[in-house]
C-alpha cells in the first residue's frame, strides 16, 4: 500500500477504516487497568499525553503474557479472510492469518508501507507489470502442523473470487486476473485449469498474470484473500466457524454473535515472521456490547480495545474532552475516509436527479457533522465523496454546507414533479449511535421541506450482504437512503474510489459497497484512467468522477472522518497505524 513503483499505475498504500488529528496535554488515570499490574520489566508506566500514540509507540514493551480484551457493539461481516471487507477485520485478521504482503506495524504514515509477510520479499514484476512473482518463506505451517505452500495461497485467492458464496470483500482479483472464460469458481468448476491467471511452479513460488499492467499489485497481495487456506479443510460458508490459522494465534471458541476467543498457535514459528511479536497469551473478543457501555468499560480499564476503531460515541465524548486525565489518554487521528449517505436511484422518485438534489439541498449539513461528534471528533463537512488527502481532490461547491436551503430544496422538488414532497425509507446500522443520529438528523431536516423519512436499522454484520448492499432487498423494501462510510484500501484514487463508484462492481447476490452510483460516463472515465501513465492525469480523472457523482446527486456527503480514540490502560505498544487509521492490533501487549 505505500510502495511506489516506476511501472504504470503505481500506487501508494493507505487504509480501510476510521480516524482524526490534533493537540496536547498530560496526566494519567487512576483506575485499575484491564489485565492490570505494572510492567514486568519494572519500568514505570508511560506518561499519558494527548496524541501520544499518534506518531510514536506508546508504552513500548516486549513483555509476553496476559489476555487482551476487545469488544464490539455488533459482529462484523466475517472472520473468513475470503469474505471480509471491514477495516477493523483487516486489522484484526493479521493476528491469525498471514497474507503474502502486509502493512508495517509502525505509527502514522510509516504504517502504510508494505512489507513482505508470507513472501520473502515484495513482488517481482515482469512483462511490463502484467506478471508478478512471489517466493514464500521456508518453514511456514498451518495450525495443524501441515506445511503452507503456494497452492494454498492460489486456492485462497480463487476461492475469494466466488462472490455468490462469499458476497463480501473486494473484486480486484476478479477484475484483473487473466482467468479462463470457463472458470466460474473453485466449487462450480474445480477442474478448469487456471494457470493463465495464477501459476504455482513449485511449493514456494506463486505467479500472478494480469489482463493489463498494474504497478501497484503489491496492494492486491496485501489483501486478506491471499491468506492461505488448505483445500481439504475448506467448508465454504461454514469455514468462518473454524478458520485454519497461519499466524501466531488460532481460534479456540467461535460463538456467533457472542464472542471469539483465540489462543497461541504452537505451530507458528517466529523465525519465519519478522513482523509479529505475539505478546498476549490470548484474546477475548466480546460481541454485541452496547456502544456506550463499551466506551465506559474502556474508560474504566475493564476493556482494552473497541474493535470497531471509530472512536468514542457522543455520550462519552464530552466526558473525555472535559476531563484532563481522560483527554491525556486520547488520540485524534485523521482518516482517508468519508462518512456519507447513498441516495439510491433504483427507488422512485429518487430515479429523478432533481428529487435526489432536493435531499442534499434540504439536509442540515451541520446536523450531520454533529451526529459524528462535531468538527473536532467527527470531521470537516464533506463537499464530495473523495477525501482531501487524495491526489486529484478539489473542493466542490455545488451545494450548501450549512443548515440546509429550503428554497432550493422546494425548487428541486417542483422540478422533479413532487412539489409537496415524498416519502422514502432510510437504512442505517442499528448498533452505531452515530449512524442513528445521522438518520434522525436527516429525518428532522428533510421533514421541513416535505420529505418524510421512515428510519430502519439493520445489523452491521449483514448490512451490505443482506440489506443495504443487496439490490433486490433495497428495491422490494423501498430503501431510498442508506448511511455508510468508506476508507481507502490504499491511498490513491483507485484504492479509494473504484469499489464504490464503478457500476460494474455491483452484484445482484449482495455484498455491494457501491449502493447508488450507476453511471456509464463514470465507468468510461474509469476505463480511461487505465490508459494514462502519468499520476497527475489519473488523479485529475478521479477528481472529475467525484464531481460527476455530486452533479448527479448520487450521494449526500457527511464528513471527512476524524475520531477520538482512547488508549487502553494496561496495554503496551499502542499506536495509530496509517494503514487503518485506528490502533494497530498486531503487536499490542498486556502489562
**DSSP code, position 47:** P
Whole-angstrom distance, CA of residue 55 vs CA of residue 106: 9
Instruction: Give residue 442's pLDDT.
Output: 98
Cβ contact 518:172 at 8 Å: no
Reported pTM = 0.86
Whole-angstrom distance, CA of residue 95 vs CA of residue 271: 16
Which three-class secondary structure state does DSSP give residue 526?
helix
Of residues 12 and 565, more confidence is placed in 565
Whole-angstrom distance, CA of residue 506 vs CA of residue 519: 12
334: alpha, beta or left? (left if phi > 0; alpha if psi -120 to 50): beta
Count Cα neighbours of 56 within 13 Å in the Cβ-side half-sphere. 10
Closest Cα to residue 402, out of 444, 369, 434, 431?
369
Closest Cα to residue 14, out of 306, 334, 461, 277?
334
Provide the 10 A C-beta neighbour count for residue 404: 22
Which three-class secondary structure state does DSSP give residue 520?
helix
Instruction: Give residue 460's pLDDT.
Output: 93
Instruction: Give residue 491's pLDDT.
Output: 86
Please, what is the average pLDDT of the chain?
91
217-249 per-residue burial string, b: 16 or more CB within 10 A, e: under 16: bbbbbbbbbbbbbbeeebeeeebbeebbbbbbb
Cβ contact 108:54 at 8 Å: yes
pLDDT level of residue 44 (50, 70, 90 thresholds): low
Whole-angstrom distance, CA of residue 126 vs CA of residue 254: 42
**Grid cell in block for residue 473:** 432487498
Instruction: Give residue 534's pLDDT.
Output: 87
For 108-148, the pLDDT digits (tens) are: 999 999 999 999 999 999 999 999 999 999 999 999 999 99
Whole-angstrom distance, CA of residue 362 vs CA of residue 351: 18
Cβ contact 47:29 at 8 Å: no
DSSP strand E in 375-421: where? 379-381
**Grid cell in block for residue 547:** 464531481
pLDDT level of residue 4 (50, 70, 90 thresholds): very low
Give the angle subtended at the CA of 222 by the CAs of 220 and 223, to the nearest 5°.
70
Whole-angstrom distance, CA of residue 547 vs CA of residue 503: 16
Instruction: Give residue 11's pLDDT.
Output: 34
For 47-70, the pLDDT digits (tens) are: 899 999 999 999 999 999 999 999
Cβ contact 535:288 at 8 Å: no
Whole-angstrom distance, CA of residue 187 vs CA of residue 164: 11
pLDDT level of residue 35 (50, 70, 90 thresholds): very low
- Averaged pLDDT for residues 96-102: 98
**Residue spans of alpha helices (H) in 180-329:** 218-221, 291-300, 314-322, 324-327
State the DSSP string of 128-170.
GGTEEEEEBPTT-B-TTSPBP-HHHHHHHHHHHT-TTT---S-
Instruction: Give residue 47's pLDDT.
Output: 87
Closest Cα to residue 382, out of 562, 558, 561?
558
Whole-angstrom distance, CA of residue 193 vs CA of residue 190: 8
**Grid cell in block for residue 235:** 467448508
Asked if residue 368 has pLDDT above 70, the reply is yes
300: alpha, beta or left? (left if phi > 0; alpha if psi -120 to 50): alpha
- Averaged pLDDT for residues 288-316: 95
pLDDT level of residue 45 (50, 70, 90 thresholds): low
State the DSSP string of 1-39.
-----SSTT------SS--------B----SPPTT-S--
pLDDT level of residue 3 (50, 70, 90 thresholds): very low
For 432-462, the pLDDT digits (tens) are: 999 999 999 999 999 999 999 999 999 999 9
Instruction: Give residue 506's pLDDT.
Output: 95
- Averaged pLDDT for residues 359-376: 96
For 513-545, the pLDDT digits (tens) are: 999 999 999 999 999 998 888 889 999 999 999
Instruction: Give residue 97's pLDDT.
Output: 98
Which three-class secondary structure state does DSSP give residue 274?
coil
Instruction: Give residue 532's pLDDT.
Output: 86
Whole-angstrom distance, CA of residue 539 vs CA of residue 485: 21
Asked if residue 550 has pLDDT above 90, the reply is yes
Instruction: Give residue 170's pLDDT.
Output: 94
Closest Cα to residue 329, out of 129, 532, 570?
570
277-301 per-residue burial string, b: 16 or more CB within 10 A, e: under 16: bbbbebbbbbbebebeebbbbbbeb
**Residue spans of alpha helices (H) in 448-478:** 471-476
Asked if residue 404 has pLDDT above 60, the reply is yes
3-class DSSP string for 342-377: EECCCCCCCCCHHHHHHHHHHCCHHHHHHHCCHHHH
Report CA-CA distances (Å) from 448 to 153, 362, 424.
55, 8, 15
161-187 per-residue burial string, b: 16 or more CB within 10 A, e: under 16: bbbebbbbbbbbbebbbbbeeebebbe
Instruction: Give residue 530's pLDDT.
Output: 86
Asked if residue 257 has pLDDT above 50, the reply is yes
Amino acid at each position: 500500500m505505500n510502495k511506489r513503483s516506476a511501472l504504470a499505475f503505481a500506487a501508494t498504500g493507505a487504509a480501510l477504516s476510521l480516524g482524526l488529528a490534533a493537540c496536547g496535554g498530560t496526566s494519567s488515570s487512576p483506575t485499575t487497568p484491564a489485565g492490570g499490574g505494572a510492567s514486568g520489566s519494572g519500568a514505570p508506566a508511560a506518561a499519558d499525553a494527548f496524541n501520544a500514540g499518534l506518531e510514536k509507540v506508546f508504552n513500548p514493551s516486549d513483555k509476553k503474557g496476559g489476555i487482551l480484551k476487545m469488544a464490539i457493539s455488533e459482529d462484523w461481516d466475517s472472520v473468513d479472510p475470503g469474505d471480509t471487507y471491514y477495516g477493523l477485520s483487516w486489522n484484526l485478521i493479521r493476528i491469525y492469518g498471514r497474507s503474502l504482503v502486509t502493512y508495517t506495524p509502525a505509527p502514522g504514515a510509516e504504517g502504510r508501507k508494505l512489507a513482505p509477510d508470507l513472501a520473502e520479499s515484495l513482488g517481482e514484476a515482469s512483462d511490463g507489470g502484467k506478471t508478478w512473482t512471489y517466493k514464500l518463506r521456508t518453514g511456514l505451517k498451518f495450525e495443524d502442523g501441515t506445511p503452507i505452500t503456494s497452492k494454498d495461497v492460489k486456492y485462497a485467492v480463487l476461492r475469494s473470487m466466488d462472490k455468490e458464496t462469499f458476497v463480501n470483500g473486494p473484486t480486484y482479483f476478479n477484475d484483473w486476473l487473466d482467468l479462463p472464460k470457463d472458470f466460474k469458481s473453485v466449487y462450480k468448476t474445480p477442474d478448469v485449469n487456471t494457470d493463465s491467471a495464477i501459476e504455482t511452479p513449485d511449493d514456494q513460488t506463486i505467479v500472478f498474470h494480469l489482463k493489463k499492467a498494474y504497478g501497484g499489485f503489491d496492494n492486491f497481495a496485501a489483501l486478506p484473500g491471499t491468506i492461505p487456506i488448505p483445500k481439504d479443510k475448506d467448508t465454504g460458508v461454514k469455514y468462518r466457524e473454524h478458520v485454519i490459522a497461519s499466524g501466531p494465534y488460532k481460534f479456540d471458541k467461535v460463538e456467533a454473535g457472542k464472542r471469539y476467543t483465540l489462543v497461541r498457535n504452537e505451530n507458528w514459528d517466529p523465525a519465519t515472521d519478522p513482523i509479529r511479536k505475539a505478546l498476549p497469551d490470548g484474546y477475548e473478543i466480546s460481541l454485541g456490547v452496547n456502544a456506550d457501555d463499551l466506551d465506559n468499560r474502556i474508560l474504566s480499564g475493564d476493556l482494552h480495545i473497541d474493535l470497531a476503531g471509530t472512536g468514542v460515541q457522543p455520550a462519552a465524548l464530552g466526558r473525555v474532552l472535559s476531563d484532563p486525565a481522560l483527554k491525556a489518554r486520547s488520540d485524534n487521528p485523521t482518516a482517508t475516509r468519508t462518512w456519507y449517505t447513498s441516495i439510491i436511484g433504483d427507488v422512485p422518485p429518487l430515479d429523478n436527479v432533481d428529487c435526489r438534489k432536493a435531499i442534499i439541498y434540504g439536509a442540515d449539513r451541520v446536523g450531520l457533522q454533529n451526529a459524528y461528534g462535531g468538527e473536532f471528533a467527527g470531521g470537516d463537512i464533506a463537499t464530495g465523496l473523495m477525501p482531501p488527502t487524495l491526489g486529484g481532490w478539489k473542493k466542490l461547491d455545488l451545494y450548501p454546507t450549512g443548515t440546509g436551503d429550503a428554497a432550493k430544496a422546494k425548487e428541486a422538488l417542483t422540478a422533479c414533479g413532487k412539489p409537496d414532497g415524498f416519502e422514502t425509507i432510510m437504512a442505517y446500522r442499528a448498533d452505531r449511535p452515530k449512524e442513528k443520529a445521522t438518520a434522525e438528523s436527516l429525518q428532522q431536516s428533510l421533514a421541513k421541506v416535505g420529505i418524510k423519512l421512515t428510519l430502519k436499522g439493520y445489523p452491521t454484520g449483514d448490512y451490505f450482504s443482506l440489506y443495504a448492499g443487496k439490490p433486490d432487498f433495497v428495491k422490494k423494501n423501498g430503501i431510498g437512503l442508506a448511511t455508510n462510510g468508506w476508507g481507502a484500501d490504499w491511498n490513491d484514487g483507485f484504492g479509494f474510489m473504484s469499489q464504490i463508484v464503478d457500476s460494474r462492481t455491483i452484484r445482484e447476490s449482495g455484498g455491494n459497497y457501491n449502493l447508488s452510483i450507476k453511471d456509464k460516463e463514470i465507468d468510461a472515465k474509469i476505463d480511461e484512467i487505465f490508459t494514462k501513465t502519468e499520476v497527475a492525469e489519473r488523479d485529475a480523472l478521479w477528481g472529475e468522477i467525484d464531481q460527476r457523482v455530486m452533479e448527479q446527486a448520487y450521494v449526500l456527503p457527511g464528513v471527512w472522518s476524524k475520531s477520538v480514540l482512547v488508549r487502553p490502560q494496561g496495554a503496551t505498544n499502542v499506536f495509530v497505524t496509517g494503514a487503518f487509521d485506528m490502533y494497530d492490533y498486531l503487536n499490542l501487549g498486556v502489562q
